[in-house]
Amino acid sequence: MENTQFDAIFVIMIIVIVVSVAFSVFKNVNESIQNNKAPILEIPVRVMEKRVQRRKRNKNFSRNVFKVIFEDLDTLERHTFTVDELEFDQIVEGDIGYLKYQRKRYHAFQRDALAAEFEEDTTSNTDTQFKIED
């Protein structure tokens, strides 16, 4: 009797794991398909905030995730994207330029030097620190 209960629980656990993995794969594939179908947009934006999130996998390993929040200059809608560290280091809070993206997929940020120079003339020039989240 005990052996059949153990077998049933074991089979149920395997089914739950397989369904969870299948759902995760389906969700990621579906997200990628929707991103691919979406048009690539280029909009004028201001860099509102930079964040570094530390993701801990275990006691000995963690990695940083670099996020940038852009604000659409026309609609004031905010867009948050994960970027690589090199791109993150080149973007400065307050920068004005053009964001190129495809739904939830970040493509590029191109700083508009003329607009940025105009902004610097009209506002005080202070350095800002990005936020670190644990």
Most confidently modeled of 63-67, 115-119, 126-130? 63-67
Contact 43, 98 (CB under 8 A): yes
- The neighbour count for residue 71, using CB atoms within 10 Å, is 18
Contact 102, 38 (CB under 8 A): yes
Task: Please compute Rg for the chain using Cα positions.
Answer: 22
Instruction: Please say whether the structural domain 41-133 has been given the CATH code 3.30.10.20.
Output: no
pTM of the entire predicted model: 0.68
The token pair that represents 125 in the structure block: 């020039």
pLDDT per residue as tens digits for the range 75-90: 999 999 999 999 999 9
Contact 49, 131 (CB under 8 A): yes
